[in-house]
Amino acid sequence: MITLKSYKFTEEGRRVDYDYEATGKASKFLNPREPFFVRYDFDVSKCPPGIIIIPFISNFITLAWFGGFNIRVPEVDAIFAKSLLEVRAEFERLHHGYSLTGSLYSKQETEHNWTGGKALMLFSGGMDAYTGLIRHQDEDIELITILGADIDLSDSVQWQQCLNHIKTEPFSSKFTHQTITANMRKFYNDNVEVNLVFGWWGKVQHGLGLLGLLAPISFERKASIAYISSTYSIPITWGSTKVSDEKIRWGGLRVLHDAAELTRQNKAQLIVDFARARQKPIQLRICYSEVKRDGNCGKCEKCYRTIMNLVLAGADPRDYGFPFSRKTYENMFRYISSIPASAGMKIFWLEISNAAHASLNTKNFFVLSDYKEEFSIITRIANGEINRTLERKP
């Protein structure tokens, strides 16, 4: 059992610390040195209890579901409580072999209704994020970036680089931007990975956990919609899908899992087409590698895959923030042959192989210096060389 006893506001109402107690088997999953907190850019102390508790519930409830224990809270938004039943059912469908038995109990369920035209968008500065921003640029959007998700709380250098990128990139800088800080990957311990689900953050926590942090902002802004960008274009066991995310709702807000119909290659083409129309490339920030703290390293799998997406969209990766030279292709083949392959990685490179095949037919790909040499490289990719390499890996 996890019991939320109280919460308190500090830092002029911007920070919320949650006071809770774990008993029984729930206690073995929590990190007592890292009690859960969330920090906002403005005072959220006027939020009603049923809303201010949502960030806590959204990050703890998946532990309860998979761990088989209950959570008790003093109060919760009634719409949110009902939506969690639907999310749990969808998670149980996605995670074959798991019986999700934990539940949420509240002393009081309260109604919170509002209407408004504001939209909130989770925004990291990557390809998925810019796809969403381009698609919804004419709406009244506020961008939200979270410290403690992809960037560790202690990594002040990379966090500042991320903020500088969003604030200075000509397209994203036009929009209102807020940040949230939360120890959402620190309040639990390694037993979650060992005893519940390996790959917990990606496969389970991140969709519901990130979206729930938006609740106080949505109340203050009277936002009616929250956008979260899609990652995969086909269903896999993942913590953020169109079906699961769009079941989440509270007060006057609903969630839209955006661009699920698009492959990553489709997204690259959308961004390139938009950049060409405005005659100004978009600086993407997709890499959090330790190899390079400022910008994209150009040496990790995520960089290589995005470089190929851009090349096959007919764009020079250097214009979009990526190191790129004649050695990039050789290094890419060598690197990918040396790393383990996830299910998601195999999906992305299959998409790239299919796009490479189409590009050979149209001859519509970016050429750096030597058409014949680079045509040969694209042919290798189209013929599935990288796919076969990945399929041989666990």
pLDDT higher than threshold 80 for residue 293: no
Map tokens 């330790």 to a residue: 290
pLDDT higher than threshold 90 for residue 288: no
Task: Give the pair of three-digit tokens for residue 143.
Answer: 């961008």
Map tokens 């107690």 to a residue: 21
**Under 8 Å between Cβ of 104 and 69:** no
Average the pLDDT over 50-77 and give the result. 98
**Under 8 Å between Cβ of 149 and 185:** yes
Task: Give the pair of three-digit tokens for residue 17.
Answer: 């610390």
Count of CB atoms within 10 A of residue 99's CB?
9
Residue 213 pLDDT: 98
Nearest Cα neighbor of 20 from 69, 90, 84 is 69
Q: Is 0.75 surpassed by the pTM of this model?
A: yes
- 344-369, pLDDT tens digit by residue? 899 999 999 999 999 998 888 999 99
Q: Quick one: DSSP state of residue 30?
A: B
Count of CB atoms within 10 A of residue 284's CB?
24
- Top pLDDT among 212 and 342 is at 212
- 108-153, pLDDT tens digit by residue? 999 999 999 999 999 999 999 999 999 999 999 999 999 999 999 9
Average the pLDDT over 280-303 and give the result. 83
Residue 71 pLDDT: 98
Average the pLDDT over 90-118 and give the result. 94
- 213-268, pLDDT tens digit by residue? 999 999 999 999 999 999 876 667 889 999 999 999 999 999 999 999 999 999 99
pLDDT higher than threshold 90 for residue 309: yes
Phi, psi of 5 (to 5 degrees): -85, -40
Residue 392 pLDDT: 85
pLDDT > 70: percent of the chain: 97
Residue 287 pLDDT: 87
Query: Is 126 in a helix, a strand, or coil?
Result: coil
Task: Give the pair of three-digit tokens for residue 127.
Answer: 């390809």
**Under 8 Å between Cβ of 142 and 176:** yes
* Helix, strand, coil percentages for the chain (3-state, nearest 5): 45, 15, 40
Q: State the amino acid at position 234 in one-letter form.
A: I
Name the pLDDT band for 295 (thresholds 50, 70, 90). Answer: confident
pLDDT higher than threshold 70 for residue 38: yes
Task: Give the pair of three-digit tokens for residue 56.
Answer: 């806590």
**Under 8 Å between Cβ of 158 and 128:** no
pLDDT higher than threshold 60 for residue 97: yes
Q: Is the dihedral of CA 284, 150, 339, 351 positive or negative?
A: negative
How far apart, in whole angstroms, are the C-alpha atoms of residue 215 and residue 223? Answer: 9
Residue 88: CA count within 13 A, CB half-sphere: 23
- 146-182, pLDDT tens digit by residue? 999 999 999 999 999 999 999 999 999 999 999 999 9
Q: Mean pLDDT across the chain, nearest whole number?
A: 95
